[in-house]
Structure 1
Amino acid sequence: MYSMKIDEKKKVFSIVVSGFITEDEAAAYATDYKKHAESIHCPSYTLLLDGSGIKASKQDMLDGLKALIQSYVDDQYKEILFVQVESPTARSQMRRIDVLMNNVRIIEPTEIP
């Protein structure tokens, strides 16, 4: 499950993802993300990704996740904030995505702006 919201006043594009994501949900997410991102000037916005409630993904979905995170970087947001994942297994998976570690600031849930 996921939700996306753009706060034009604060210049924050917030995405909340939780639970276990299926391949169909991942495809719908990617389409929705592109639609939302195209409606704003990304370099003026902070992207806030709250995946704290996400469950571990199937191993074959990690390449798709890496590509999606790379698209966030390519869209050149002013800043990308990623809320720390609660699940130890999902957290371990996220650590293996090098593009995430190099381009995103990981924050605790208490630090959400």
Structure 2
Amino acid sequence: MYSMNLDKNKKRFTIVVSGFITEEEAEAYTNDYVKHASSIDCAQYTLVLDGSDIIASKQSMLDGLKALIQSYIDHGYKEILFVQAKSPSARAQLRRIDVLMNNVRLIEVNEV
């Protein structure tokens, strides 16, 4: 499950992802993300990715996740903040995505 919120006053695009994401949900998510991102000047926005309640994904989904994170970077946001997952197994999976670790600032839930 996911939700997306654009706060044009604060120049903040917040995406919350929770639970286990299926391939069908990932496709819908990507389409929604593109629609939202194309409606703003990303360079003026902070992107907040809240994956604190995400559950570890199937290994086959990690390449898609890596491509999605690369698309966030390619959009050129002012800053990308990633809220750490609570699940140790999800944290371990995310740490293996080098593009994530090298291009975002990791924060804890209480820092949002």
% identical equivalent positions: 72
Shift of 1:12: 0.1
4+ runs of 1 displaced by more than 6 Å? none
Partner SS state of residue 16, structure 2: strand
Aligned length: 112
What residue identity is the alignment partner of 1:94?
L
Give the structure 2 partner of residue 74 of structure 1.
74
Give the structure 1 partner of residue 46 of structure 2.
46
Partner SS state of residue 65, structure 2: helix
Give the TM-score of the pair, scaled to structure 2.
0.99
Give the structure 1 partner of residue 101 of structure 2.
101
Over the aligned positions, Cα root-mean-square deviation in angstroms equals 0.3
The yes-or-no answer on 1:37 pairing with 2:37 is yes
Partner SS state of residue 65, structure 1: helix
Partner SS state of residue 56, structure 2: coil
- Whole-Å Cα distance in 2 between the matches of residues 13 and 71 of structure 1? 15
Partner SS state of residue 39, structure 1: coil
Give the structure 2 partner of residue 86 of structure 1.
86
| Deviations 1:4-56 (CA, angstroms, capped at 9, x unpaired) | 00000000000000000000000000000000000000000000000000000
What residue identity is the alignment partner of 1:80?
I
Give the TM-score of the pair, scaled to structure 1.
0.99
- Whole-Å Cα distance in 2 between the matches of residues 110 and 52 of structure 1? 11
Partner SS state of residue 9, structure 1: coil
Give the structure 2 partner of residue 4 of structure 1.
4
Shift of 1:72: 0.2
The yes-or-no answer on 1:27 pairing with 2:2 is no
- Whole-Å Cα distance in 1 between the matches of residues 77 and 97 of structure 2? 19
Which runs of 5 or more structure 2 residues have no equivalent in the other structure?
none
- Whole-Å Cα distance in 1 between the matches of residues 27 and 51 of structure 2? 17
